[in-house]
Amino acid sequence: MSIFTGSGVALVTPFKENGEVNFDKLKELVEFHIANHTDAIIICGTTGEASTLSHEEHLACIKACVEYAAHRIPVIAGTGSNCTATAIYLSTEAESYGVDGLLVVTPYYNKATQKGLIAHYTAIANSVHVPIIMYNVPSRTGCNILPETAVYLAKNVENIVAIKEASGNISQVVRLAKLADGCIDIYSGNDDQVLPLLSLGGKGVISVTANIIPKDTHDMVQKYLEGDITESLRLQLASISLCEALFCEVNPIPVKKAVELMGLCGGTLRMPLTEMEPQNVEKLENAMKAYGIL
């Protein structure tokens, strides 16, 4: 059984101007997404600036999100690390708070061989009982989960059930879908490739864009699954300019500015991320106006 089907938002982490986590705004964001039909919340992922959160902040955000969601929507916690022991620590703590699943990124910087990835994910999965989504994003981590490795893990580790595929390599996803033959759920990790992955049997998307167009991102997946491919395609193509603007600088710089422009929360970032360049802010504003958000 899938952890979720549809649109999971890779949620931003709201900060106060002094850099502290703004839990009041976090609660408001959870309510905003529930009201706008988001199908799952992914807390403390890349978009949530998890890499600049202390362990205490990281876990506090996960615990708060679970409490705010109150079982109305699945909460999936980002608990990955390039240190297996740290990933196990974060994962076991998150499980104790009642999360519905974990999103575990591949080891970054020190990377890993495919053998190392199998050992890493197996050790984390064996430390918890909740289902795990592997997160494959080679452009950030320098580490690629090959289709054969993903399928091996899904077939041999009971609670490894899904993969967020953000390699951008459609040919690799085609091979994954063929080898898996349904043994692993596939989620798009790229907002401009939702339909291609759905056409390969994907279950949905873990989305940055859903931070600002949650209902349309949900509808894009839902319409496809209902057989209304024409409307799903319209929504995908309509969002492309917005996607381009949201990734004109490294994520989550633009989406943090976008939620600020919408008045959802402040746009404060933690270093080494810095304020968006003025010309890119203009590009983002124009894309949001063209879409009808502003």
State yes or no: is 135 an active-site residue.
yes
Of 25, 68, 121, 164, the catalytic one is 164
61/80 Cα distance (integer angstroms)? 15
Of 68, 121, 135, 187, the catalytic one is 135
State yes or no: is 115 an active-site residue.
no
The residue whose two tokens read 């996803």 is 173
The residue whose two tokens read 């708070």 is 97
Residue 177 half-sphere exposure toward CB, CA atoms < 13 A: 18
Active site residues: 135, 164
